[in-house]
Every structure is written in C-alpha cells, then in structure tokens.
Structure 1
C-alpha cells in the first residue's frame, strides 16, 4: 500500500480516545507534523473539557462523546463554530465510519474499541490500532476484513514486529520474540505479590501509560493479550510467539528466521514513534522523540517470565490456544477485575483468580458475530462481578 497522503493535501486523521495516553501522544505527533497531518475528528468518553480544548486547538470538524452522562456538559457549548457533535455509546463508531478521514487511530481502552475497529476496516480507511482488545476479542472477525497495509499496529511491540517483517517472507519466520520490561514486580514470587497496592502497581519502570494498561503490565496480562494479538496479526501459533523480559525496554521485539538470523527493532521508549509510523507508512518522517545514544546505554538484559507468579500470562496462553470466545471472556473478566483492584475492592493476585473463575465457567464457542461477542462480554462481566463479591 502506498502512502495515504493525498496529492497536494494533508493526511486526514481521526483520533478515537483522544484524551488518553495514546491519544494525547498522537496529538503531539500531529502538532509536530502539522504541515502533513490534519486532525478532522476526535472522540472522548467523559473528559469533555480536554476534548473541547483539543477540538479548538486543531479546529476539528467532528467530535464524539461516548459517556451519556457527559453529553450535555456545558463546556461542549465552547466547541469551535461548525464543529459537529456526535454523542452516545456509539459515537466513536459513527466517527469511525466517516469518509472525511484517511486514517483512524483507535485508542479506546478495552473491548469498547472492537466495533470502532470493525467499522474502519469495513471501509477503505487505514486503521491505526492501539486497542489490542479488538484483535484479542474479535480477531477472527477483523483480520479477514483487512486489506494489505490497511491495519497498522500501534503497540510498540507489534509495530516493531511489523517492521522486522517488512520486505521478508513471513513463511521464513521461525518465531517471534515478544519483549516486555517485566513491570514493577519483576522477580517477585506469588507470595510476595499478595500485599502489593495499586500505588505500587501503577509505578511502571519505563512506559507512560493509562492506569488500566499499567496494571495489565504489572500482572503481565498485557503481554498475554499481546501474544494473542500477534497470533492474529502475523498468522503464527502461540507456540512460536515467545515472551522475553527486556528490562531496559530498548528492544521492542525481534523476529527470528529459519536460517538463524534475528532482526530486532531498537529505539527510544516513546509511543510517539509507532504512532507516527502508523500514520506515515510506508514513509518515515523526522522522529518525534529524543534519540537513543547507544554508546551510553550500558547493557541489554534478558530473562524469562515467571508464569507461576504472574498467572495472568498463563491464563492468556490458555485462552489463546482455545481461541473462539474464550479470549473474549479473558479480556472482559480482566477489565472488571482490574477496575476492582484500582478501587481497592480486590487484591493484586485476585485479578488472576477472577479471570480463571470466569474462564472455568464458560463454554467455549466459535466466533460468529459482533452480537455474539457483545453477549459473551456481558456474561463475563456479570460473572466477574459475582466472583469479586464472593472474594470480598
């Protein structure tokens, strides 16, 4: 696929989830390349003051508010003249269907991003995917819709793998080395993890992310979800997608080929780099981030993850091997459990316990529709809440 930048005009960008960590970093990329990128649409869930501020700064034509309790916030009266407001639970999906943009960044957190991703791929717009749950839950539905070059992963790891495979024959790949920092609790035992607090868990060693993803990184569920995502993106079985602890977070992932050669993607721990590449592929523009001086890096260290202490990683492996609706249950139960942990209703190790309870209670089915996945998601959330109440 060639560059999506039209002849003589800027690439038109929609950012769904513009007030979160990925969304705000995407806006920074758009600021730095204002001569090439035009922000035309923005969505937020509830942070309407930030949404209005960004809408005025970038003079956007469309905004969406998905939280119905915030659709009448007075600040929305300050939207720029001519800006159209779309509100309600499906506002982000409506923006994703618009023909007024060339690339849609789906940076919505959680399973809510699935329908927006589906809407983008159902048209001829590029999907810059920063919502891993879209593929974890609905990869069987989304991947058949994606034309070559239409779906660009924004996760630093999947963006790295995508680049390592560019120009290569995927059939000659032996395995993927999916890297992670190990989170704030690297090296701790399951017993030692019993007493950690949400404040401990939110202290990620290298990446600046939102609260939910930061907790997922602490439990290693994030890496489990990314293995399932990589399985769909790159057509490779989980047994060939290996998790590797890389504490310095400078190697963002590697691909090992059948002849023993390994291609690694290295660079700064800055999400603006993969965000920008998803906007510009196949072109490369000036970096939005500080460069790494490898002469001063000192070392690169590697280790294996502990699936006994970090049970979420093992549960994600089980769900990924079973496929069908089981990853949907894994993801929904995890979202509920993480929220309970963040509100001091559940202990750290309780997150995995809740997820396992829901998976054990679920009868796996093949994925057939978005409606089916909505029903499974709702069932898993209700089952997770019951499990949390019983653990209290």
Structure 2
C-alpha cells in the first residue's frame, strides 16, 4: 500500500504518520509550508514523544515530503500508485485540497486505473467528508462522477489523541519533534470505504458512524473550550490544572450533561453510555502528564466562537432539543472575555467588545439571530458574571 498524507502538522506527524510507521508503512507528506517540507526531507526522521509516567520516544522514518507547488509528482502518485489518502490540514483548507485530489483522480480515470482508493478525513471539523465530496463531484462529468462513485471511498474518522509542541529545549534539538497523548483508538466510518485501510494500531471500522464525529466534537471540543476559557479567567497556565479546579469541574459537568442530553436526543445514543464517554474527555483534560497550555487551546477565539464551532454550536443544539445551555453560555461568556495579549484574534475580539459591545459579538461573530434570543439572554447574563469575577 502506498499512502499520501495531506498536511504535516502535529496530528499528521504525531498521529497518522506515527501510526503508519508503527504499522511498517512508508508514506508521503504533502504540505503547504515549504520550510517544513525542506526540513522533513533533510532530516528524514522525527521524534514522537509519548507522554506518561515514563516518556517513550519513537523515531519515525520512511517518508518524504512534497510541497503544494510539486503538482506533477502529487498528481502522478494519485493517478498511479496511491491506495490511501489521509487528510489533516484544518477545515478551512479542505476545499483546496479537494480540488488537488480531484485533478489526481481525473488523471487516474484517464489512465484507466481501476484499483480502489480511499480518502480518510482526519479533521477536527464538522462534516469534512461533505466538503471534500463537494470539491470532487461539483460540476463533474457523468463519466468522472461514475468513476469516483465506483472507485473512490471517502470516509470520516475521529481523532482523539492530543498532539502538542514539546519544550523549547527539545525543539531546538529536533524542530520536528511532537509530544503526544498515549492514546491509540482510531475509529473510521467503514461504510465510506472502498477497500481495507493499512493495518494500523488502534484502527476500528465503525459500521454505524452516524453522529460519531459530531459527538466527539460537541463533547471533547466543548469541554476543551470550557476549560481553556474559564481556566484563563481564573489565571491558570496549564489545562490539567484548570480541569481540576472545583468550580470549573462543576461547570464542566453541567456542560457534559447539556451536550449529552442533546446528542442523545438527536442520535438516539444511550445516555448512560454517553456519560461514560464523557469520562474519557475529562480524563484527558486532567492528565497531568499531557503538559498542555491554556493559551494553545484558547487560541483564535473569534473562530472558536463561530456559530457551528465548539461552544455556540452545541448550545444551539441543546436549545433545539429542548434543553437550556446555561453552562455552555458561561463558557461562551468566558471566551468573549478572552484577551490574551499575544493572540491577535483575542485582541480583535477585545476591541469589538470595548468598541461595539457584547451584542455586536453575538450578532457578528457568533452569528446569532433574533430567533436565538434565549441563548443571547443566557450569554449576556453570564457575561456580567464573568466581567465581575474575572481578572479584567
């Protein structure tokens, strides 16, 4: 099997590439950052540090890297030899990647390559497979449409391992080094595939994948946002410390209840089983061996306050199914008051707040409408609490 990974960031290197190496597979990165491409090709290896009571260091090798400008070798590989494409580029970059893959698949069809090929989305994003499918199938000819539907699998997966930057000292010795959580579970939508994937550690083919990714996003990501923004307001530096603060834990427990109620209504999950699932989220957040910073997780609050992102998205879902997202509204309020000086997005958000007020942010950033008056009122109420009790 020959494998292509679009993206060479922390998840691409620290999870996908690491698993492929563990499974004995070589692979190719495709990365937009040309300096990173050069570094990968020069070093020919990088370290993955698995965090725990004892740190295990794996040295990943057996790869090369293409830049986005290396169009011909990328398209040639997709047309001739690639059997699996993993994508980990960030949701906003998916359309461009999809167009590149489309060109490769078109050449594959022209050259009568009848072997099946799988595309696996490894994105912390809602419905990434739909974005890639639209890039491939929109305005496709009947012949190309039929070829792709017959030969191309497009499947979503759930990435639950955290991958973070190591210390500055370690980065000086190995700029490509990644610290990762000792977590290997890799669920993939079995129905989206056309053939078997590489035999990877932790790989699980899930037949009933409906709601799987949304559950992860609205459980793990909502919890992450809650801890990072409330933790910032209380002056914490590390996620694990904030996730053990009694007041934050109380709010977080209510967030799990709120999101769990809505997700179980929407996807008919068993509530007791779902609440067991939330314990894996809490365990990850409280893991003291996973040295993760509040600043990294809270970064870019304008994006994370978006209408479908980790806090506003689940809050709207809770209301849709008859619940009251009071704890989620508190987390949203804390995010609105996030003003980390080194974060340009946070500083822009602060200027919106000071110049135009909270309602402007709710309308223009959270994209709430008059129909969302209940949620708006909850957030406004909690903004007063945050403003009065935070270090601002």
TM-score, structure 1 normalization: 0.39
TM-score, structure 2 normalization: 0.39
Q: Which has the higher contact order (CA 8 A, sep 6+)?
A: 1
Larger radius of gyration: 2
Greater helix fraction, Structure 1 or Structure 2 = 2
